[in-house]
Amino acid sequence: MAVIRDVMPAFELLQPNSITEAQKLLEHHGQEAWVLAGGLDSFDWLKDRIKKPQAVVDLSGIEELKGVRATGDGIEIGAMTTLTEVVNNPIIRQKYGLLAQAAELVASPQIRNQGTLGGNVSQDARCWYYRAGWPCYRAGGNICYADTPESRNREHAILHADRCVAVNQSDSAPALIALDAKFVMRTPKGERVVDAEDYFIGPNIDITRLHILRPGDLLTAIRLPSAWADAKFYFEKIRDRNSWDFPLLNVASAMMVSGNRIERIRVAVNAVAARPLRLKAVEDAVRGKSPSATTGEMAGALAVHGAVPLQFNAYKIPLMRNLVKRAIGGVEEARWAS
């Protein structure tokens, strides 16, 4: 029988007006519901007819999910705020520039105009075997096509792989972890708030999703505490092209430096594992030291400890080492080597 990959399968389109209504709909439809934010992830699945939910819950009409508001301690960003809005927001630019930098490097301007912050952190894996609809572990099957001696796995994981070797490729996620963000969800049991790094899970917990949302849950907002406002930030994204591409690797760090000593620091990387990794060991190792290239080199070597390369992604090890080094010590002036 021919496999048709054209025209979205039929679904019931539900367009709630409030968070409460949306959460109830998601709870009611359970496994058969699909959350539609900006659509940049959803439509790929639906148009390829690989995922066929019975009900799609469109969040675009829910005003309370949009916008940036000041809170008692920092700001709260609605999950449906577009990436362009995040990039252009004056408070974020001024005080939480790390997030603006990261959001601005996501994809392309058109995608940022439509894509949301909540969607960016909740995006699904982009492993091309998974996205082609092959029945791998992540799709409910019992094999990983990317983890074989010959398979094409240049973008896949070097750390914490557990049967599935796909990576999380969100750019805003490591920035939010570095800013100690809190993710606010509405669940059947009411509101639930988790630290940014706890929003993401690896295949050892559940191999079919990258985040902790269960059927009936809705990510409503992301809060940035004032503790890391105005810190010294570093963000770098490595990708093949200068636009549109997912990261091969990215790093985000927030540092408080005083008297040439690192007082407090948070470092996170993404696209090396199925979830963004907060590098606690690196943070502990560099605290109290000067933010120099030497410290950075030590931190980089520590960060890649335990990395396991696959056939085509060994380059991620020196790349991660160097990016962590830069996050601590900055980018050295270019020295002509010839």
Q: Give the footprint of another protein on this chain (CB under 8 A).
A: 1-3, 44, 108, 128-129, 131-135, 139-145, 147-152, 154, 162-163, 204-206, 236, 238, 240-246, 248, 308-315, 318-319, 322-323, 325-326, 334, 337-338
| Shortest CB 107 distance to another protein, Å | 9
- Pick 61 or 318: Cβ nearer another protein: 318
- Pick 81 or 322: Cβ nearer another protein: 322
- Pick 206 or 230: Cβ nearer another protein: 206
| Shortest CB 152 distance to another protein, Å | 5
- Pick 112 or 326: Cβ nearer another protein: 326
| Shortest CB 52 distance to another protein, Å | 13
Which 3 state secondary structure label does DSSP give 100?
helix
Q: Burial code of 46-69, b = ≥16 C-beta within 10 A, e = fewer?
A: beeebeebebbbbbeebeebbebe
Q: What is the DSSP letter of 260?
A: T
* Residue 197: exposure state from Cβ atoms within 10 A (0-12, 13-18, ≥19): buried
| Shortest CB 205 distance to another protein, Å | 5
- Pick 95 or 239: Cβ nearer another protein: 239
Q: Distance (Å, rounded) from C-alpha 141 to C-alpha 286? A: 42
Which residues contact residue 39 at a Cβ distance below 8 angstroms, ignoring those fewer than 6 apart? 114
Q: Burial code of 78-99, b = ≥16 C-beta within 10 A, e = fewer?
A: bbbbbbbbbbebebbeebbbbb
| Shortest CB 331 distance to another protein, Å | 8
